[in-house]
Structure 1
Amino acid sequence: MKRIVLVFKGMAYGITHILPGLGGAIALILMGIYEPFVDAVGNLFIQRHRWREFAAFLIPLGVGMVLGILLAAIVFERLLADHPAATNAFFVGLLVGAIPSVLHMHKDMHLSGTRLGASSLGIILVLGLRGLEASLRAGHGQKWTL
């Protein structure tokens, strides 16, 4: 049963490699397997006496990861072709939904005015660059291109 759960967690981890902006480390943290993953990968060749333990963890996770990548590539390619706005909204929802979990990971990771301001500035910068890109693609500001 433990291995089946690891396969599904591996699938979720594999999906993060297809999704833009969602890091694999965040997924491992949210699933509670970051420390065992780092331990297994980091010590696989150093602590050879634990290779069976590491293999029992990494093989099901790896199988799930490959399955997750393949399935996600097929599904999201189709979704982006047929429903681009809804699919992009889904991606944004995943990112925003992970914020509370990340903020509660450590006691010093609280939301402060400085952090909120920096985040807001980053969002404004990204949106401004997107607007600039759209403007340049539309042919406005051609004298500014290199």
Structure 2
Amino acid sequence: MTHTADVAPTGGRMPNDTAPSTIGLRVLQGMGMGTADVIPGVSGGTVALILGIYTRLIGAIRTLAQSPTALLRGDVTSAGERFRAVPWPFVLPVGVGMVLALGLGSVVLPPLLETYPVETSALFFGLIVGSLSVPWSQAVEANGSASRAPLVALAVVFAVAAFLLTGLPEIVIDHPPLWRVFLSASVAICAMILPGVSGAFLLLALGIYEPTLEAASDLDVPYVATFVAGAVVGLGAFSKLLSHLLEHRLAVTMAALTGLMVGALRVLWPWNEEGTLHGPDGSGEAVVALLIGLVGFAIVRGLLLLGRRTGHPAEHTDVIQ
């Protein structure tokens, strides 16, 4: 087994994961991801990509998922090795932040989205537009001097696919059976780690978004346990594939992710009514939405600029070969 060093793209080493300031930062990063996953149309994977922890997070998830897989094969030694190989000082604070944000977000965000739908959508629209350069620049860099035409074509294909997917009608199931909860969670969790693909939106399309929020709010243990089990199974299977693509097909993977983010902007269009795109009711509303969108755009660009100046715009994966 080889263990790659954690190095920032600038050549400097990444922050010490055990330092109190870094732990606090990881919790905040996890909260950003968790908050995004509660909002239909926004992906926690997008936030991880913006914050520079995406590739490392996927590598950590892959390593963690290999432990129960080895255990099922009866290989206790390998399961223990994989479990110990997980960068827990990185994973735990991020996980804690996500859980906190998911719990708080399930209570706070739905009323906010209902009361200020145009303003909230405009803010996140601006945030996503401002972050599009992150995966695309990685795709171009990994592609080197080769032609960019295939990358552009791939991005367009995935953008169209995401645009069509996000136009699917919403379904509401008041009391979904647990088998449906399990299967829906295993599918939605894959979206939650893909930039541009909203796990919350897939839960809406599958009909269990509102029941899941209610179950989390009411501490419905059987429902929540079934959802978590489905998420773990889906995450284990998908993270292995995604980690492989990030290691061996970085350029095409990032181009595809860029396309997904572009196409998924359909959900965040401020005047989107059940998949149908409309224009603003008046010039005043349009100006307010534009200004709020620009604020979101500026926030992301500021964070990216700060990351470059501090020498940690992104963090490389920590994968065991």
Is the TM-score greater than 0.5? yes
Paired with 1:53 and 1:114, the residues of 2 have a C-alpha distance of 33
CA contact (8 A) 2:32 2:44 kept: no
Gap regions ≥5 residues in structure 1: 133-146
CA contact (8 A) 1:10 1:60 kept: yes
C-alpha distance 39-130 of structure 1, shift in aligned 2 (>3 A)? same
2:27 maps to 1:7: yes
Gap regions ≥5 residues in structure 2: 1-20, 68-78, 168-265, 267-271, 279-321
Q: 1:94 aligns with which of 109, 127, 143?
A: 127
CA contact (8 A) 1:20 1:91 kept: no
2:27 maps to 1:27: no
Paired with 1:49 and 1:101, the residues of 2 have a C-alpha distance of 30
C-alpha displacement of 1:52? 6.8
Aligned positions, number: 129
Counterpart position of 2:36: 16
Query: What does the per-residue CA deviation read over 1:69-113, in whole Å, with 9 as the maximum and x for residues that have no partner?
Result: 223333322222322221122232222222222322221578969
Query: What does the per-residue CA deviation read over 1:41-88, in whole Å, with 9 as the maximum and x for residues that have no partner?
Result: 111225726627522221111110011122333332222232222112
Counterpart position of 2:196: none
2:89 maps to 1:56: yes
TM-score under structure 2 length normalisation: 0.34
2:111 maps to 1:78: yes
Which SS does the other structure have where 1:30 is aligned?
Answer: helix
Which SS does the other structure have where 1:80 is aligned?
Answer: helix
TM-score under structure 1 length normalisation: 0.67
Q: 1:43 aligns with which of 63, 85, 104?
A: 63
Query: Whose RCO is larger (CA < 8 A, sep 6+)?
Result: 2
Higher helix share: 1
Paired with 1:58 and 1:114, the residues of 2 have a C-alpha distance of 32
Paired with 1:95 and 1:130, the residues of 2 have a C-alpha distance of 20
